Structure formats: C-alpha cells, structure tokens
Amino acid sequence: MKRRFQGFKIQDLGARKIPSPLTVGYFKTDDDRIIYDIHLRRERGGSRSGTPITMEVAGPREMIYFDPTKVKAGIASCGGICPGINDVIRAIVMGLYFRYGVQNIIGIRYGFQGLVPQYGHDVMELTFETVKEIQDLGGSILSSSRGDQDIGLMVDALERMNINIFFIIGGDGTMRAAELITREVTRRNLKIAIIGIPKTIDNDLVLIQKSFGFDTAICEAVKIIQCAHVEAKGAPMGIGLVKLMGRQSGHIAASAALAQGDANFVLIPEVSFDLEGEKGFMKCLERRLLDRKHAVIIVAEGAGQDLIPGAFPTEKDASGNLKLRDIGLFLRDQIERYFKKTRIDVNIKYIDPSYTIRSVPANAGDSILCGVLGQYAVHAGMAGKTGMLVGLVNDEFVHLPFKAVSSQRKTIDPAGNMWMQVLESTGQPSSMKG
C-alpha cells in the first residue's frame, strides 16, 4: 500500500517508463523523505493531523521520464554573479553527458534575456570540452542579467528550441519567475521540466540550509577583516570599517565576524541601532577606543538605512530590489564628524570589497556543494520532475517547489543562537538603542 505524506508536493510530467541508464545501487523513490522541521515541539513541524511534514529526497530514479537519446537541455544563470555558478554549469553538463548520454545541451546567454528575441543573444553549445575547466573561473560563462521578461515569450522560446529540460540558476526573484514559467508550460500542456538550482551569496533563501557561494564569500570577507584589523592596530585610535554584502540579511557579516574573531561591532539589517545617545553606537565605539585604542566594525549593506537622512529608499533596480543608500560611506562620515566634535583624533580606514567577494572562483567546499546540486538537478530533470529546485535541508538534498523558497527571505533572528554567538564574539552591547 502506497504511503501518504503531508508535505511539499512535487509536480511530475508523467509516468516514468524508461529504465535509467545509470548502473548504481542507490536509487531513490518518491517515498524516500525527510522531516521538514526537526524541532517537533513547534506547531509548524507537523500538520493538523499530527503527521510530520516531509520533503522528497533528491537522487537518481530507477525509471526515468525522458529518453536520453532525444533530450535537449538548456541552462541559464540569472541575477547577480556568485562564486560557483560555473561549477554548477559544469556539473549539469557532465552529469547529462556522462551519466545519461545526453548529447544536445545549450547555454542560454544573459539569463532570461536570452529567451527573448528582441535582445538578439546567441545561445552557446555546451559540451564536455566547453566546460571541463570552467570551475577555475569566477562569474558565469553564460553571463547573466536582471529584470522581468515576458513569461509567454520565454515559454515560446523554449517550445521553439525544442528544449525538454530547462535548468535555471538563480535567487528568490529568479525562482519566482521559474514558478511562473512552470505554470505557463503546464497551461500549454508542454512536456518541459523546469528545474532550479538556488543561488544567493547572501544565504537568504528560506528553508535552504546553505546556498552555494556563501562559504567562498566568507573566506574572502575574512581576508578583508584581517586587513582592517591590521590597519586599525597600526595607528593610534585606529578604526577599520568594512562594508559587506547583505541587503536584507546579515548572514555574511555575522558569519565572517564569527570566522575571524577580530570584529568589535557587527551591524546588520535585522538589528536596528541608534547613532547618538548614551547607548548608541557612537558612544559604544568611543568607549571601545578609549579602552583598547582600536576597533574593527563590520556593516552589512542593508543595515542602518533608517539613519541616513531623507526618505527611505523607494527606487528599485531591474530585479525589483530597493536601491540602498551607501551605509558604509555614511557611517564613515558620521564617525569622523562625531570624533571631531569630541576632539579625539581617530584614524579610520574604510574598505568596501562588496563586488570582489562575489567575483572569485568557488573554494573547495562550495565546489563540492555545486557539484552535488548540479548532479541532483540532472537526476530530477531526467525523472520528469518540474516546478522544483534542489536544496540542502537538514544535511539532506531534497526537492522543493519553487514557491516554498520564494515566499520570504531567511534572516538572522535577533533572539536566536547565531546573533547571541556574534554578541559573545564581538563583545558589543546586546542593544545600541535608547
């Protein structure tokens, strides 16, 4: 008797009737699942019936949907660049070619723009020779783009090019678009599998334990923090101020601070702070300088936007993200102004490596993660799964519907363990308000 599960339902194109060409002993079934929330005391960890909510485990299926000899696959990377995109592209191509024997693979240039005729972007043929060494390169060999494109035109292009499996590498905005593409494909009754590989250097996709590129970003950020610490200690009343990526989530700033241990203050979007006042940031910084003669500050790009004079930013970029004001430059100027007023001579060095840390090749840890994500994406696509992405949850690779990860962002809980660890590592006050 087939078991019934409460959980994230994954869409299938149809019955799987073709034996897999893989000669492995670790085939998975759709009944192989993991529990969504390991904290069973939480109400969200189970359904109303008391049955735990579960997720479908990723991996090769013994029977597949597509005939490998007739498959044409397409790959696109969307949004900002990130360490590891080329690793994912390579893993997808290698998996399709060597594990399933798929010969026809194309790369869609410049993200979703490559599917819209008016832009005139050529596609790129992807072969073993094309991708065999791209893991050593930063960025994406397919390039990328931001901005909304007409869903109907994109599906027209997939249909016109006879693409059977479309792999999409991107963040939450890209996954929302992928969901709309899936809906249109389903409405037209087309047999095209839409498979996502989650990409966000900020590690802010909900449910996903860790996204690729994040570890590399931390490693690169640590180098910058080390330099800031050296600069701060090298002068009387020295201050090293580092701005890191993190629009709405401070994961990079917090994790880099924990990895290095040289930071004295970490400012993130999730935790508001005052500049002035007895408990405010400036007074805390002054006490630190008078006590230790130097300080290192890490600020995430989305922190303190409410402190910058003028209306809160409303202008958006092509991806729909708010165009943030530069908190790094603002904070530098405010620090200089404050200590000039208090007649304390400070030596401040401001470092903004934001785009540097996302342009480098993936480190070893991220390369491993990228390779596995690409392999499991291939298995899902060949099995006829669609409207889903592959992600790491509770140390298992699982299938998740697009909507599950695009509905909200993963942020740092100010009352959670991670922020407590940051406070203990830095020694900064638990609150700089009031």
Q: In whole angstroms, what is the distance from residue 64 CA to residue 378 CA?
A: 11
pLDDT digits (tens, 9 = 90+) for 342-394: 999 999 999 999 788 899 999 999 999 999 999 999 999 999 999 999 999 99
Residue 136 sits in the same domain as residue 29: yes
Model pTM? Answer: 0.92
> DSSP secondary-structure letter at 148?
-
Q: What percentage of residues in the chain have a pLDDT greater than 70?
A: 93
CB atoms within 10 A of CB 39: 8
Residue 229 sits in the same domain as residue 98: no
In this structure, is residue 432 part of a structural domain?
A: no
Q: At what angle do helices 251-260 and 214-233 cross, to 10 degrees?
A: 60
Residue 178 sits in the same domain as residue 232: no
Residue 158 sits in the same domain as residue 32: yes
pLDDT above 50 (res 71)? yes
Catalytic residue positions, numbered: 202
Contact 77, 109 (CB under 8 A): no
Residue 201 sits in the same domain as residue 133: yes
Residue 243 sits in the same domain as residue 337: yes
Question: Residue 221 sits in a domain of what CATH number?
Answer: 3.40.50.460
Residue 179 sits in the same domain as residue 202: yes
Residue 24 sits in the same domain as residue 167: yes
pLDDT digits (tens, 9 = 90+) for 294-349: 999 999 999 999 999 875 666 766 656 677 889 999 999 999 999 999 999 999 99
Which residues fall within 8 angstroms of residue 21, CB to CB, at 6 or more apart? 68, 99, 100, 101
Beta bridge partners of 125: 106
In this structure, is residue 23 part of a structural domain?
A: yes
User: Both tokens of residue 359?
Assistant: 């342009």
In this structure, is residue 268 part of a structural domain?
A: yes
Q: How many domains does the chain have?
A: 2
User: Both tokens of residue 295?
Assistant: 């300080």
Residue 196 sits in the same domain as residue 264: no
pLDDT above 60 (res 6)? no
pLDDT above 60 (res 49)? no
Residue 43 sits in the same domain as residue 107: yes
Containing structural domain, residue 108 = 6-211+362-393
Q: In whole angstroms, what is the distance from residue 346 CA to residue 358 CA?
A: 31
In this structure, is residue 302 part of a structural domain?
A: yes
Residue 235 sits in the same domain as residue 335: yes
More confident residue, 147 or 429: 429
Which residues fall within 8 angstroms of residue 135, CB to CB, at 6 or more apart? 86, 87, 90, 361, 362, 367
User: Both tokens of residue 252?
Assistant: 């990079």
Residue 115 sits in the same domain as residue 164: yes
> DSSP secondary-structure letter at 304?
T
